[in-house]
Amino acid sequence: MDKAARRPGWGGVGAPRILELMENYWVAVLWSLLPTVVVSALFFFVLRSVIRADRNERREYARIEAQERAKRGLPPAKAPVAGEVADAAAAASADR
């Protein structure tokens, strides 16, 4: 047997061993990434459900408020603009 056949590497006697190590390496990589992926997916779905619940709650509250305003004969509430909400909050805190 010459030196090339005995030398470990892709083409020599050690080739199956290297392929086995590479296979174990990728399995280890997948197992090490799996917890991060699972926790990230759980976080995403929990956060998405919280945001959806908040959106639905605000929509329902606005519907109920519109019904109550209509019962009392009040005009519909004006939808606040983001800048106006911040200005109103600053003015309210300055008045105190």
pLDDT in tens, the chain (96 residues): 455 555 555 555 555 666 676 678 888 888 899 999 999 999 999 999 999 999 999 999 999 999 999 999 988 887 766 666 556 556 666 655
Q: Which residues of 68-87 are buried (b: 16+ CB within 10 A; e: fewer)?
A: eeeeeeeeeeeeeeeeeeee
Q: What does the domain layout of the chain look like in residue ranges?
A: 3-95
Alpha helix ranges (H) inside 7-80? 15-72
